[in-house]
Structure 1
Amino acid sequence: MFLPSAVGRVRTALTALVVLTAVALVAGCGGSAAPGASTTDASSSAAASGEAFPVAIDHVYGTTTIDAEPQRVVTLGWGSQDAVAALGVVPVGVTDFTWGTVDTYLPWFADKVTELGGQMPEVVEALDSGEYDYEQILGLEPDVIIARHSGITQAQYTRLSEIAPTIAYRSEAWAADWQDVQLTVGEALGRRQAAQEVIDETNATIAAHAAAHPEFQGKTFAYGSPWTEGEAVMGLYGVDDARVKLIEQLGFTPAPAVVERSKATKDAGFEVSLEELDTVDTDVLLIWANDQAQWEGMKAQPLLGAWAPIAQGRTYAMPEQGLAWASSAPSALAIPWSLDTVVPALAVIVAKG
Structure 2
Amino acid sequence: MSRTLRPAVLLAAAAVTALTLSACSSGTTPEADASAPAASDGFPVTFEHIYGETVLDTAPERVATWGWGAADAVLSLGIVPVAISSMDYGGGEDRIAPWVSDAIDDLGGEPPVILDSATYELSVEELLATDPDVLIASYSGLTQEEYDAVTAAGIPVLAPEKALWSTPWRDVITDAGTALGLEDKAQTVLADLDQTIADAAAEHPEFEGTSIAYAADDVDTFYLYLPADPRVEILEDLGFVSAPAVTALDTGESTFYTTVSSENLDQIDAEVVFTQTETEDALQTFLTSDRTKLIPAVAKGAVGAIVGEENVAAITPTALSVDFILPSMVEQLAKATAVAEG
TM-score band, normalised by shorter chain? 0.7 to 0.9
**Long gaps (5+) in structure 2:** 14-24
Partner residue, 2:19: none
Cα shift at 1:214:
1.4
Mapped to 1, the partners of 2:256 and 2:8 lie a distance apart of 17
Amino acid at match of 1:247: L
Cα shift at 1:141:
1.3
Aligned with residue 175 of structure 2, among 178, 181, 184: 184
Amino acid at match of 1:36: T
- Please say if 1:45 is aligned against 2:38: yes
Mapped to 2, the partners of 1:16 and 1:198 lie a distance apart of 22
Mapped to 1, the partners of 2:123 and 2:266 lie a distance apart of 47
| Aligned-partner SS, 1:302 | coil
Partner residue, 2:105: 114
Equivalent pair of 1:19/1:267 in contact (CA under 8 Å): no
- Please say if 1:136 is aligned against 2:126: yes
Partner residue, 2:21: none
Equivalent pair of 1:19/1:268 in contact (CA under 8 Å): no
1:1-353 matches, cutoff 5 A: 13=6, 36-37=28-29, 38-41=32-35, 43-46=36-39, 50-100=40-90, 102-103=92-93, 104-125=95-116, 131-161=121-151, 162-225=153-216, 227-231=217-221, 234-261=222-249, 267-327=255-315, 329-352=316-339, 353=342
**Identical positions, percent:** 32
Cα 1:341–1:110 shift into 2, 3 Å: same
RMSD across aligned positions (CA)? 3.1
Mapped to 1, the partners of 2:321 and 2:176 lie a distance apart of 16
Greater length-normalized contact order (CA 8 Å, ≥ 6 residues apart): 1
Mapped to 2, the partners of 1:160 and 1:193 lie a distance apart of 29
Cα shift at 1:45:
1.8
Cα 1:18–1:127 shift into 2, 3 Å: closer
TM normalised by structure 1 equals 0.81
Cα shift at 1:289:
2.5
Partner residue, 1:27: none
Moved over 6 A (4+): 14-20, 263-266
- Per-residue deviation, residues 54-81 of structure 1 (Å, max 9, x unmatched): 3222222222222322221110111110
Mapped to 2, the partners of 1:12 and 1:351 lie a distance apart of 27
Mapped to 1, the partners of 2:314 and 2:134 lie a distance apart of 25
TM normalised by structure 2 equals 0.83
